Structure 1
């Protein structure tokens, strides 16, 4: 099982990672480490994959999986252990795991210089427009100057084409970032990680 680990300056007691598709039991086209139970994969395979992940990490039971909506809801796991509809979660409690599922979209990890909280957000173009990053920064209630962020893997411009309607939605919210979406014939190629980085740098 392979992991991608952020090269950020988070305190040592903060652990963050992104899985890859290697190391699970799912068959094609879900092969092999599919952790999503809403995409048509066998439920038993997803459950096995989640158990394998838990075993590899040596962590408590993985719970709190979200039913993601491409929206701006961030759940505080310390106060709400039952809600599942959202696109981000946070905790200030040691040993609590926050997780999101991503394919094309980017996972955005947040903590602060003291490691007093961790949060993870599911960031795609719909979430950017809806304000998921602003919601996440508001939820952690920490000075933006103290926040550390890492943007995980996401689809890149060359592999990602959208129509003019998506371009216009993005530019309505981020008009200053017109150069972060490139023309490709009648289509456009945004880069999720670049837009996420821009949103992190914007005032909230």
Structure 2
């Protein structure tokens, strides 16, 4: 089970895809390309200045979970929900009740295409929106590959990359509010500004 990072404000954040491809030029002039391994996410983060109490929580967390064997849950801190919505608070599910930002996988077409239900009516997604797919205590981060609009009953079909793990089933949930995936933390650097400290760190998504 991955751990949740301590709360922080971020000055800078990026989560970029690393696409593993090899391109070879033949003597004929033709080019051949192929995948070397799974594509993955590389994150770079710089926190806002932290005072002693905030820094203490991070130090304690890193001492417990900062080794290469531990996974942490990370999403993009500045891109927390679909672009069509400034907030999902107060939005209702099509069948009634308040939407909590999480839908349920209804059907799986393949590892990059699913239908999700238990959503608000006419739920809108744009290319580049983040989603998190969660099941059995595991979480992976993905980006939507094409604009999609759901139906009045609260279902939407969407395509995304990278592919989800083979183990995912219709018991999985899809997180649209603050989606996260499992990452391995890289080195954490500290920079002092008077009595405050800024942390900067990298993180690499875990291939599951």
Question: Rg: which structure is higher?
Answer: 2
Q: Name the TM-score class by shorter chain.
A: under 0.3
Q: Higher helix fraction: Structure 1 or Structure 2?
A: 1
RCO greater where, 1 or 2, for CA within 8 Å and sep 6 or more? 2
TM norm structure 2 = 0.27
TM norm structure 1 = 0.28
Q: Higher strand fraction: Structure 1 or Structure 2?
A: 2
